[in-house]
Chain A
Amino acid sequence: AQKITQTQPGMFVQEKEAVTLDCTYDTSDPSYGLFWYKQPSSGEMIFLIYQGSYDQQNATEGRYSLNFQKARKSANLVISASQLGDSAMYFCAIRTGNTPLVFGKGTRLSVIA
């Protein structure tokens, strides 16, 4: 079975600083995809970034980048130049060839002015 572990229940970061949110995963399927979603206090789920298991380069989307270390089974999200609007819950998720998206428990990020 697929599993996502997010070990940081809460994180604080100073505005304009970079922050790394940890995510480790477990799967025996060689083909999988890793996703990060943001959930602000309003509750909606916002897609941030995707990394496929066969992608050679780490994914980037604006201020978001994914530090993908396949051998260590980690897919950490890096947010550069944090903004107050980045305060939210962040969820890591994995999808395999025959299993829909499985989510971790999330990390609450608080950006301090």
Chain B
Amino acid sequence: NAGVTQTPKFRILKIGQSMTLQCTQDMNHNYMYWYRQDPGMGLKLIYYSVGAGITDKGEVPNGYNVSRSTTEDFPLRLELAAPSQTSVYFCASSSRWSEKLFFGSGTQLSVL
């Protein structure tokens, strides 16, 4: 069981570059989420999805975009990377709204 898989694990971007963080889950979960964790802080919600074709903004969506074309995949797109986007990004999924979240191992992103 792979669970939630994120790629890449580490990435360094230059200011203004773009990239896509990949997230895929093999548990057939309808609900998927992207969080970011700044050093010494808790997790903040960027975007979430309740099913294929449906996405919604979280607390800190500016500078990011998402899409959900399949149940399995929920990529996060960074356009015009900025130093403020330096963070650890976690993708997560759950089978129901009320159930616990299963997390990926995270992507450590530095924007220099």
Contacts and interface: CB of A to CB of B under 8 A. Distances in A.
Contacts of B35: 103
B90 interface: yes
Interface of A: 4, 33, 35, 43-45, 47, 50, 52, 91, 95, 97, 100-106
10 contacts: A35-B101, A44-B106, A95-B97, A100-B45, A100-B58, A100-B97, A103-B35, A103-B43, A105-B42, A106-B41
Nearest to A52: B98
Interface residues of B, number: 22
A43 B88 contact: yes
A106 B37 CA distance: 11
Contact of B48 (A35, A44, A45, A100): A100
Contact of A50 (B40, B100, B103): B100
B105 interface: yes
